Amino acid sequence: MQTIYNLSAPTAAEDLRSKMQEQFATMLADSPWQFQNRTGKMATEHRRLLRYPTMELEEIFELPVSRLAAARSHLYLWVPNALLAEGMEVVRRWGFTCKSNIVWHKIRKDGGPDGHGVGFYFRNVTELLLFGVRGSMRPLTPGRTQVNFLATRKREHSRKPDEIYDLIESCSSGPFLELFARFARHCWSQWGNEDVEANSTHGVALRTGHDNSQLRRMETPKGSRVK
Ligand SMILES: C[S@@+](CC[C@H](N)C(=O)[O-])C[C@H]1O[C@@H](n2cnc3c(N)ncnc32)[C@H](O)[C@@H]1O
């Protein structure tokens, strides 16, 4: 995929820095990872499924998360199975030590594994939420009996289960910050490039937010020739 840069717009790191100044005890992030195959091209299935602009790994590293994190804090980072090593490195670069993970099992209505996902080696029916700690900070008392497994039905492309907020709130302390948020969540600070209020009102992600001039990276316009 060709990348078009609008150099007058702030980078994601600059945008986040300008909008969030306080420090947070808990952060949840669902990064817009870029998938590439061995030739360096975007994997076909991801190109087909791409519903939002993505960020290069370096741009994700550069987000000022360690500045936003309290000295003792928790990080929850969604990471696709194919990018586990990259996800672990993001946790490290953001100033956290990876301590555990939570497995999301995507199930059908009848409780069986929902095999509609993608995957080059296996058909993925799970996604991982990495758990990192900065300073010394054990989960809260209710969280210590929480199992690291969540089985819920899948919704729209890339949308994560709402149950994860309840789980995080029972295991970790506020103030809470969500990075790359798409839907509003009460009592959380949120950052991203979508209109969370409008999305929440309609119950689905409205794509108009991606025409926002604040976006530095945009999808290739239809009809352009990209090798
Ligand atoms: C994986 S999705 C988040 C999905 C969300 N957690 C949910 O459950 O619905 C990644 C989000 O990052 C946003 N995004 C992409 N590039 C961005 C940028 N440069 N700055 C801020 N947000 C960006 C996308 O528009 C998308 O909303």
| Distance between Cα 38 and ligand 1 center (Å) | 25
Residue 4 has pLDDT above 90, yes or no: no
| Distance between Cα 195 and ligand 1 center (Å) | 11
| Distance between Cα 192 and ligand 1 center (Å) | 6
Residue 102 has pLDDT above 90, yes or no: yes
Residue 218 lies in a domain: no
- The most distant pair of C-alpha atoms in the chain lies apart, rounded to whole Å, by 56
29-65 residues labelled b (16+ CB within 10 A) or e (exposed): bbbbbbbeeeeeebbeebeeebebbbbebebbbbbeb
Residue 94 has pLDDT above 90, yes or no: yes
Ligand 1: lining residues by beta carbon, under 6 Å? 12, 30, 32, 52-53, 55, 158-160, 180, 182-183, 192-194, 216
Residue 43 lies in a domain: yes
- CATH number, residue 28: 3.40.50.150
* Secondary structure of 154-192 in HEC code, one letter for each residue: CCCCCCCCCHHHHHHHHHCCCCEEEECCCCCCCCEEEEC
pLDDT band at 49 (very low <50, low <70, confident <90, very high): low
Instruction: Output the average pLDDT for the chain.
Output: 86
Report the C-alpha gap between 67 and 63 in whole angstroms. Answer: 9
**For tokens 């996604």, what's the residue?**
127
The identity of residue 58, as a single letter, is E
Residue 223 lies in a domain: no
Residue 88 lies in a domain: yes
Q: Which tens digits make up the pLDDT trace of 171-207? A: 999 999 999 999 999 999 999 999 999 999 998 888 6
Report the C-alpha gap between 167 and 164 in whole angstroms. Answer: 5
pTM metric for this prediction: 0.87
Report the C-alpha gap between 226 and 55 in whole angstroms. Answer: 18
Domain count across the chain: 1
Residue 49 lies in a domain: yes
Report the C-alpha gap between 175 and 39 in whole angstroms. Answer: 42
Choosing from 160, 193, 210 the residue with most ligand 1 atoms within 8 A of its CB, the one to mutate for a pocket test is 193
pLDDT band at 5 (very low <50, low <70, confident <90, very high): low
| Distance between Cα 46 and ligand 1 center (Å) | 15
Residue 6 lies in a domain: no
pLDDT band at 210 (very low <50, low <70, confident <90, very high): very low
Instruction: Calculate mean pLDDT across residues 214-223.
Output: 34
Residue 30 lies in a domain: yes
Residue 92 phi/psi, 5-degree rounding, is -65, -50
pLDDT band at 39 (very low <50, low <70, confident <90, very high): low
Q: Which tens digits make up the pLDDT trace of 108-121? A: 999 999 988 778 89
Residue 1 lies in a domain: no
Report the C-alpha gap between 46 and 134 in whole angstroms. Answer: 33
What is the domain extent for residue 166?
12-182+189-211
